[in-house]
Amino acid sequence: MAIPESEFLLSNLTSKSAEYYQRACEVIPGGVTANIKYFAPHPIVMKKGKGSKLYDLDGNEYIDYLLSYGALILGHGHPDVLHAVENQIKEAGTTIFGTPHELETIMAQTLIDLYPGIEMVRYTNSGLEATLLAIRIAMAYTGKKKLAKFEGHYHGGYNQVLLSVNPNLNKAGEPHQPQAVPESPGIPDYYVQNTIILPFNDIEATENILCTHKNDIAAVILEPVQGGFIPAEPTFMKKLRKLTEELDIVLIFDEVKTGFRVSLGGAQEVYGVKPDLTALGKVLGGGFPIGAVGGKRDIMMISAPNQGRDLLTFEEDSGAKKDPLFHSGTYNGHPTVLAAGLATIEVLKKDGVMDSLFNNTNILRQQLETLYHAYGFKMQTLGMGSIFNIILTDRPIRNYRDMLQADMTLRKKIDYELLKAGVYIKPLNRYSMSIVHDEKDIERTIEAHEIALKNVTKL
């Protein structure tokens, strides 16, 4: 198959990445350590990052809007984060204690103060592990076995949730009754049978499905803002909270993307809705691996090893005592990572920082919309706070199936042109802003988009 012209031209500018990629393919399957990092003809290999910029092996400079999938809200190498990490290691004299330490409670208190739904906290090493732990807690707490998740929502790459994230519509069932479609070979049927798929932003259908399976469903997990850019409608969110309460289903907000990015207290603060459990990650680690689960004291306490707790208190006469829920990990609550995360949150808490981040994001979104419309493209930006996406359709977007109406082929061509013009966005991914992206970056980004739009019109 011939290489599309845009990819070919990109390869010319990034020949060292191409060379490196060939070598990487010899020792790493597909040359990437996460499949999402791949794009044709080869990913661009980076060597340095500073502020809002990334620099590749060929020395090309990019304004970075991927920001490590949203993690780097302060941009690359923020001095406060670098200093906190160096200082922590220097003062502690080690990278990790392998015992409790003070930063664990300082961060826990910080999260309790910021997130309305968080009363207690446990740490993990990734967002994936956070949702995994939240689901286990919910299942242990309710004694039920099934999980309900929304079509199009991503919660990490493990069997229980790697279903109907980006399903083929031929297999995905009716819009009001979506079916679980595994997203990878190797997922046992058990998970397909025990995962119930819900249609996002459709409260009537969601209610029907939840009521039908209420005795089996332990938890509903959702991204309050799907993919970080399709917001739940406020009435949908309020009704979902009420419904899950009535049906004794644990409501889990997966705020791995939205945490600190749509507001310091996440989407739960924006919506004024308290989930039972919250999963956090990304920004929380200041660029280092982390995850956390926070939630209601009563639910969280089932993992406490110092309390022999009767999990079956709702069955009065069973008398069964259960062991605490298992949760461990060598690196949980890593002091160096927590120091980086706390430094990040301190910067975000400063007066005006979040407002200016949101303001810059809005300016960029508005200027992009004006530009695309001036060139006659059907386009909207959609998002919340410091995250948004460019969607090439003027139809309303409320869920996964609506997104299929957007012109992804054109979007991909534009993204390749942007890479050539020095704007780093993983093709088809969302945009995340940082507090160090400034007016000049926005101006250059708009210029790059104009070049991209002119080029794709010619292609």
Residues that bind ligand PMP (CB under 6 A): 69, 126-128, 131, 154-156, 223, 254, 256-257, 281
Of 330, 300, 147, nearest to 221 (Cα)? 147
Residue 117 or residue 281: which is nearer to ligand PMP going by CB?
Answer: 281
254 included as an active-site residue: yes
Determine which one of 154, 271, 416, 424 is catalytic. Answer: 154
Residue with tokens 């917001």: 231
Which residue number is nearest to ligand PMP in terms of Cβ?
127
Q: How far is the CB of 142 from ligand PMP (least distance, A)?
A: 21
Measured from the CB atom, is 279 or 339 closer to ligand PMP? 279
218 φ/ψ angles, rounded to the nearest 5 degrees: -80, -40
Least distance to ligand PMP, CB of residue 159, Å: 14
Is the distance from CB of 232 to CB of 225 less than 8 angstroms? yes
- Given 56, 64, 202, 254, which residue is catalytic? 254
φ/ψ of residue 33, rounded to 5: -95, -5
| Separation between Cα atoms, residue 23 and residue 364, nearest integer Å | 38
Q: Which is nearer to ligand PMP, 155 or 365 (CB)?
A: 155
Residues 6+ away with beta carbon under 8 Å from 163: 149, 180, 181, 182, 183, 187, 191, 192, 195, 197
Q: Are 54 and 46 in contact (CB under 8 A)?
A: yes
**What letter would DSSP give residue 366?**
H
Q: Which residue has the tokens 């996460």?
A: 34
d(CA 37, CA 422): 18
Cross-sheet strand order for the sheet of 53-56: 46-50, 53-56, 61-64, 423-424
Q: Which long-range contacts (CB under 8 A, 24 or more apart) does 51-54 make?
A: 51/75, 51/76, 51/77, 51/436, 52/76, 52/434, 52/436, 52/437, 52/438, 52/441, 54/424
Tell the smallest beta-carbon distance from residue 129 to ligand PMP (Å): 7
CB of 433 to ligand PMP, least distance (A): 16
Phi and psi torsions of 37, nearest 5°:
-80, -5
Q: Which amino acid is at 112?
A: I
User: By C-beta, is 278 or 361 nearer to ligand PMP?
Assistant: 278
- Give the residue from 453, 289, 283, 240 showing the smallest Cα distance to 385: 283
Least Cβ distance, residue 228 to ligand PMP (angstroms): 7
- With H, G, I as helix, E, B as strand and everything else as coil, classify residue 229: coil
Query: Among the options 282, 296, 412, 413, which is catalytic?
Result: 282
Phi and psi angles of residue 221, each rounded to the nearest 5 degrees, phi first: -110, 140
Q: Which is nearer to ligand PMP, 103 or 252 (CB)?
A: 252
CA atoms lying within 13 Å on the CB side of residue 155: 30
Looking at the Cβ atoms of 127 and 152, the one nearer to ligand PMP is 127
Is 154 one of the catalytic residues?
yes
Query: What is d(CA 448, CA 339) in angstroms, rounded to the nearest whole number?
Result: 37
* Tokens representing residue 258 in the block: 């939205």
252 vs 448 by CB, closer to ligand PMP: 252
Nearest distance in Å: CB 292, ligand PMP: 11
Counts for the chain of helices (H) and strands (E), in that order: 15, 18
Residue closer to ligand PMP (CB basis): 132 or 364: 132
Least separation in angstroms between residue 72's CB and ligand PMP is 13
Taking the complex as a whole, the smallest distance from the CB of residue 317 to ligand PMP amounts, in Å, to 40
**Closer residue to ligand PMP, CB minimum distance, 7 or 254:** 254
What's the min distance (Å) between Cβ of 170 and ligand PMP? 26
**What residues are labeled active site?**
154, 254, 282
